[in-house]
Chain A
């Protein structure tokens, strides 16, 4: 009897704590979305607690009229697509040879790559290299310096080793397949799950990246969305947004507050749409990595 009551008490504690955690995480997100659909005067007046007040899409309308944001969005799309494509190719090119036990020198190659996880040249020597290569303010600087990651190579190599029967590859070789043909005809068609994981990992990374752009780009036309976000949200550079309008100062200030929330939502729309996949595949990736690492 007392055991059952203890059990019930325990359950109450567990469920309330978890609800509290979920609430703390969820509330700021819901608030941002609500505020982005609200009339900014209510945001500034502190009248929004949960649901939108004075429903409007004005803030979104001003975003789409803003060149910097639209261009940033398109730039990010381009960097993400091109960068992820390069990442995927490079990761496969490294992971496949490293997955083969008859690949002489695999430990050496692996060592060369893994060492860079623990030690590197650092910010300044890397910056000087990029400068010497004349990559500053080019499209390439957004995709080349992070062309591949050791972590993803390890995950994909592990998948190749564990999920694709070596006998199948041997049979292909006996049938006259070269290594390239084996990779393309046998291995890759069987590796779609891990390719999906890899693509998502890299794509999210590119979408959210801002630091390389901050370091290596000074031409605002090339800025990815995250740098534009930084200007608006963190540095408070919002003059340009409202300069064109002839509204009074107070109205301009209101518009700016609304834009801040709307731009947060817009920047995360792709993430929101992909979230079901992200959650599933990323968790899988962690598991593969955990077995190995």
Chain B
């Protein structure tokens, strides 16, 4: 930019010269366009071409005919989905799991950050941080695998413990009523430390003079947390709550898929896992694409809606 301004020194910026300079700017920076072109090609091929493929949701896709030549069927697949036996169950499971995750999983990292912020012993604080961040780096397969061996009805640690207390063995993974709780608790275990980082950073940015002044006025530590720390990180909380609420239906479905089995399906079947089963495993491409589109559109609208509400309510928003 500065380079351009040098060029124009002493010249009156006429409209035509502006256009010429824009053109010459592009010409001079042709290498930048060469650089970005593979990335652009990647986005077009792997992200926008599939968007073009969404049309199969409104067609009867036949592999031998391809996407373009398959016959249009309008909203047939949507209609079939809305009237299917699975519809209510899928919607209910998806929303319930998403909300459960927010209600339990969202406040805990905030509490953890507030606690860590109060721990003045640096080494202890570092120690707790190092430990609580660690599970973030474990893969979903590893976390679910650990859950499976700990909850194993015969040899698992949890059931051995229940047995030692004289209780009856619980087959956790096969029980639909346990599924959502296990999902949420393991998620809290894995992510609470990591999610607290952003709040800790926000807490670190709070003016220490506020605390000094409050202390002089005789405010207790709990009152200072309530009246200084919490309002101080409010914008961060609002932004992250928007992101979370906006993606309430876009649950980390890889983990659901891994935890899912025929016995807990009544509680663990969500929209995305159903799309995977009926689309990839059963090859109902058009039907599954329609369900996938339905959920993508809802997610998108939800994000826009939540963002609008947040902007009106508190003046904080994503865009």
For this complex, into which size category does the number of interface residues on chain B fall? Answer: 35 or more
Contact status B29-A102, CB under 8 Å: yes
Contact status B141-A230, CB under 8 Å: yes
Contact status B164-A28, CB under 8 Å: no
Contact status B146-A18, CB under 8 Å: no
Binding site of B, secondary structure by majority: helix, strand, loop or mixed?
Answer: helix
* Interface bits B4-30 vs A (CB < 8 Å: 1, else 0): 100000000000000000100110010
B285 adjacent to chain A (CB < 8 Å): yes
Contact status A271-B138, CB under 8 Å: yes
B174: A residues at CB distance < 8 A: none
Cα A271 to Cα B246 with chains together (Å):
31
9-residue interface stretch from B79-87, B111-119, B308-316: B111-119
B97 adjacent to chain A (CB < 8 Å): no
9-residue interface stretch from B33-41, B88-96, B99-107: B33-41
B232: A residues at CB distance < 8 A: none
Given known contacts A18-B115, A215-B280, is B142 in contact with A128 (CB within 8 Å)? no
Given known contacts A6-B220, A128-B56, A267-B139, is B144 in contact with A234 (CB within 8 Å)? yes
Cα A238 to Cα B11 with chains together (Å):
78
Contact status A118-B29, CB under 8 Å: no
Chain B nearest CB, measured from A17 CB (Å): 6
A257 adjacent to chain B (CB < 8 Å): yes
Given known contacts A124-B279, A233-B141, is B43 in contact with A112 (CB within 8 Å)? yes
B220: A residues at CB distance < 8 A: 3, 6, 10
Contact status B142-A229, CB under 8 Å: yes
B263 adjacent to chain A (CB < 8 Å): no
Contact status A121-B144, CB under 8 Å: no
Given known contacts A271-B138, A279-B133, A283-B197, is B3 in contact with A21 (CB within 8 Å)? no
B75 adjacent to chain A (CB < 8 Å): no
A90: B residues at CB distance < 8 A: 38-39, 42
A25: B residues at CB distance < 8 A: 131-132, 134-135, 189, 193
B141: A residues at CB distance < 8 A: 208, 210, 226-227, 229-230, 233-234
Given known contacts A32-B146, A147-B42, A208-B139, is B296 in contact with A122 (CB within 8 Å)? yes
* Interface bits B258-290 vs A (CB < 8 Å: 1, else 0): 100000000000001001100110000100110
Q: Whose C-beta in chain A lies nearest to the C-beta of B37?
A: A93
Chain B nearest CB, measured from A218 CB (Å): 11
Contact status A17-B53, CB under 8 Å: no
B300 adjacent to chain A (CB < 8 Å): yes
Contact status B51-A120, CB under 8 Å: yes
Binding site of A, secondary structure by majority: helix, strand, loop or mixed?
Answer: helix
Given known contacts A3-B220, A129-B46, A211-B254, is B22 in contact with A123 (CB within 8 Å)? no
Chain B nearest CB, measured from A243 CB (Å): 21
9-residue interface stretch from B122-130, B176-184, B206-214: B122-130
A144 adjacent to chain B (CB < 8 Å): yes
Cα A98 to Cα B285 with chains together (Å):
37
Within A22-49, the residues touching B (CB, 8 Å) are 22, 24-26, 28-29, 31-32, 43-44, 46
A244 adjacent to chain B (CB < 8 Å): no
Within B140-199, the residues touching A (CB, 8 Å) are 140-142, 144-146, 148-150, 154-155, 157, 160, 163-164, 189, 192-193, 197-198
Cα A31 to Cα B147 with chains together (Å):
12
B237 adjacent to chain A (CB < 8 Å): no
B73: A residues at CB distance < 8 A: none
Cα A215 to Cα B275 with chains together (Å):
13
Contact status B140-A116, CB under 8 Å: no
B216 adjacent to chain A (CB < 8 Å): no
Residue from B36, B48, B292 in contact with A94 in the complex, judged by beta carbons closer than 8 Å: B36
Contact status B198-A290, CB under 8 Å: yes
B163: A residues at CB distance < 8 A: 46
Residue from B127, B150, B296 in contact with A28 in the complex, judged by beta carbons closer than 8 Å: B150
Contact status A264-B134, CB under 8 Å: no
Chain A nearest CB, measured from B119 CB (Å): 6
Q: Whose C-beta in chain A lies nearest to the C-beta of B150?
A: A28
B54 adjacent to chain A (CB < 8 Å): yes
Chain A nearest CB, measured from B18 CB (Å): 12
4 pairs of A and B residues whose beta carbons are closest in the complex = A121-B50, A125-B53, A233-B145, A208-B139
Q: Known A-B contacts: A18-B124, A234-B148. Give 10 more (CB < 8 A).
A: A104-B29, A109-B40, A119-B51, A145-B46, A148-B39, A211-B254, A229-B139, A234-B144, A275-B137, A279-B130
6 contacts between A and B (CB under 8 A): A21-B128, A22-B127, A104-B29, A122-B50, A210-B140, A233-B146
Residues of B within 8 A of A (CB): 1-4, 22, 25-26, 29, 31-33, 35-36, 38-40, 42-43, 45-54, 56, 61, 67, 112, 115-116, 118-119, 121, 124, 127-128, 130-135, 137-142, 144-146, 148-150, 154-155, 157, 160, 163-164, 189, 192-193, 197-198, 201, 218, 220-222, 254, 258, 272, 275-276, 279-280, 285, 288-289, 292-293, 296, 300, 303
